[in-house]
């Protein structure tokens, strides 16, 4: 499989630990759920990376991480977050839930700097960060049956139909998530894009190892008969992109939950709610 260098510019330039913490994200034939945006790391974020990186930023590695050791020997439950953005929600949850440890993953360098800054300002000790593709982190660094929870908040919705294949929540990735959760552990997702919420619901509800904790029933509203998967596509193992079946369009499904109190609303989310836009929370338990 060809490995091509994707990133040439080092975002943590000229820093003593750069090679240890910044592993070039390579391009494989897998479709990525992100594009690396050009974004400047501010002086404050860079200072946080320099000063706190050695303590809180875990380098990507090709072998399994000892989670207890990564959190200075702590045996507290371990929650993984995928795609923390600028980290405001992550820092608030870590401060609120001091009885848990949080391993947070993001590819965007300024976000890593921003969350390290929040770690310093809040004196948070129960957070560790990895700057890498979460798919590879889960595959290589996280042992099966080792996580007590997973958070995925406002994953990129990839609005355009031709980009739906980039959406993170697809059956194959969900199977990877389930394999890393302990029995009775939870998976919590939130999105403000109705069509992605329905995709999440249909993909996750189809997994027999997951139990949707919602009591409500919903019908699919944003997919139409023109979106359904064809028999030929269903037979092909190579089809990775979610498409509903005709049966799913006509059926009722276990639905969404109220926002759990530990998840704070973001500024962006509050603005959307005022404008009448929806937010959907999904919480599952592994059987």
Ligand X SMILES: C[S@@+](CC[C@H](N)C(=O)[O-])C[C@H]1O[C@@H](n2cnc3c(N)ncnc32)[C@H](O)[C@@H]1O
Q: Which residues are catalytic?
A: 156
DSSP state, residue 69 = H
Would you tell me which residues interact with ligand X (CB under 6 A)?
33-34, 82-85, 89, 105-108, 111, 133-135, 153-156, 168, 266
Q: Torsion angle of alpha carbons 187, 107, 127, 71, nearest 10°?
A: 90
- Quote the tokens at residue 105: 């993953």
Q: What is the DSSP string of 21-66?
A: H-PPPEE-SSPPS------PPPHHHHHHHHHHHHHHBPPP-SS---
Q: How many CB atoms lie within 10 A of CB 230?
A: 10
Per the DSSP assignment, residues forming a β-bridge with 152 are 189
CB of 163: closest distance to ligand X in angstroms? Answer: 13
CB of 37: closest distance to ligand X in angstroms? Answer: 8
CB of 287: closest distance to ligand X in angstroms? Answer: 26
Closer by beta carbon to ligand X, 34 or else 186: 34
Closer by beta carbon to ligand X, 25 or else 67: 25
CB of 186: closest distance to ligand X in angstroms? Answer: 17
Closer by beta carbon to ligand X, 114 or else 204: 114
Query: CA nearest 84: which of 151, 37, 7, 159?
Result: 151
- Chain-centroid distance of CA 153 in Å reads 7
Closer by beta carbon to ligand X, 16 or else 39: 39
């Amino acid at each position: 499989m060809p490995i091509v260098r994707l990133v040439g510019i080092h975002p943590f330039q000229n820093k003593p630990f750069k090679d240890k913490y910044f592993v070039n994200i390579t391009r494989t034939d897998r479709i990525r759920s992100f594009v690396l945006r050009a974004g400047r790391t501010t002086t404050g974020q860079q200072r946080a990376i320099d000063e706190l990186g050695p303590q809180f930023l875990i380098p990507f590695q090709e072998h399994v991480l000892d989670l207890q050791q990564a959190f200075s020997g702590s045996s507290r439950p371990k929650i993984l977050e995928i795609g923390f953005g600028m980290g405001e929600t992550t820092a608030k949850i870590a401060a609120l839930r001091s009885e848990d440890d949080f391993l947070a993953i993001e590819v965007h360098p300024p976000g890593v700097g921003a969350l390290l800054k929040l770690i310093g300002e809040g004196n948070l000790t129960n957070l560790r960060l990895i700057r890498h593709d979460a798919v590879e982190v889960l595959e290589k660094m996280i042992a099966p049956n080792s996580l007590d929870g997973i958070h995925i908040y406002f994953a990129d919705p990839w609005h355009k139909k031709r980009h739906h294949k980039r959406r993170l929540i697809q059956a194959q990735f969900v199977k990877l998530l389930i394999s890393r959760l302990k029995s009775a552990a939870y998976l919590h997702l939130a999105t403000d894009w109705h069509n992605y919420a329905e995709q999440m619901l249909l993909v996750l509800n189809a997994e027999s190892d997951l139990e949707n904790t919602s009591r409500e029933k919903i019908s699919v509203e944003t997919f139409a008969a023109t979106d359904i998967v064809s028999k030929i596509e269903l037979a092909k193992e190579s089809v990775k992109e979610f498409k509903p079946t005709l049966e799913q369009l006509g059926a009722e499904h276990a639905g969404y939950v109220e926002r759990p109190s530990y998840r704070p609303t973001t500024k962006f989310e509050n603005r959307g709610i005022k404008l009448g836009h929806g937010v959907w929370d999904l919480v599952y338990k592994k059987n």
